[in-house]
Structure 1
Amino acid sequence: MSESHFYDVVRHGLWVAVAMSLPILSVALVAGLAVGLFQALTSIQEMTLTFVPKLAAIVAIFWVTMGFMTGTLTAFFRDTLVLMMVGY
């Protein structure tokens, strides 16, 4: 395996990781901003108020996008890593 092929596989793997984590990270960002805005408007400074809604949003979006994440990861393994292990 050449060095350029190795770096291409690593680059593709990093893009797969970004694509898989983007839904969860974006929902966590939006939920955090919404809770922060709510806390600023109501002057409620409770620590559990920031944790519980973000956790619920992350679990919900993980449940919704689980099929996409699994499909993306298995396609990466099937199309890239397994072929590289076999020697193509």
Structure 2
Amino acid sequence: MDELLFFDTLRQGLWVAVITSVPILTVALVVGLAVGLFQALTSIQEMTLTFVPKLGAIIGVFWLCMGFMTQTLVAFFHDTLIPLIAGG
């Protein structure tokens, strides 16, 4: 395998990782900011208040986006990695 093919496959793999992680990371960021703002406004400094809502939101978004993530990863494997392995 030449270097150009290797780096192109690596670039595609990293892009698939970014695409599949964006929904979860976005929700974690938004919920974290909302909880942080709530804590700053009310002066409540409870550690579980930051963890539990963020975990719940992440689990909910993961459950909703699980089909999209699976389709994206399977398409990457079928279209990119399996032909490279079989061809070479």
**Normalised by the shorter chain, which TM-score bucket?**
over 0.9
Name structure 2 gaps, 5 residues minimum: none
Q: How does 1:41-60 map to 2 (within 5 A)?
A: 41-60=41-60
Which residue matches 1:8? 8
**How far apart are the structure 1 equivalents of 2:46 and 2:13?**
39
RMSD, aligned α-carbons: 0.8
* Paired letter, 2:29: L
- Aligned residue pairs total 88
Q: How does 1:1-88 map to 2 (within 5 A)?
A: 1-87=1-87
Q: Deviations over 1:34-71 (max 9, x none)?
A: 00000011111000000000000000000000000000
**How far apart are the structure 2 equivalents of 1:5 and 1:85?**
12
Name structure 1 gaps, 5 residues minimum: none
Give the superposition deviation at 1:2.
Answer: 1.2
**How far apart are the structure 2 equivalents of 1:63 and 1:26?**
15
TM-score scaled by length of structure 1: 0.98
TM-score scaled by length of structure 2: 0.98
Fraction of identical pairs, as percent = 69
**How far apart are the structure 1 equivalents of 2:7 and 2:49?**
43
* Paired letter, 2:21: S
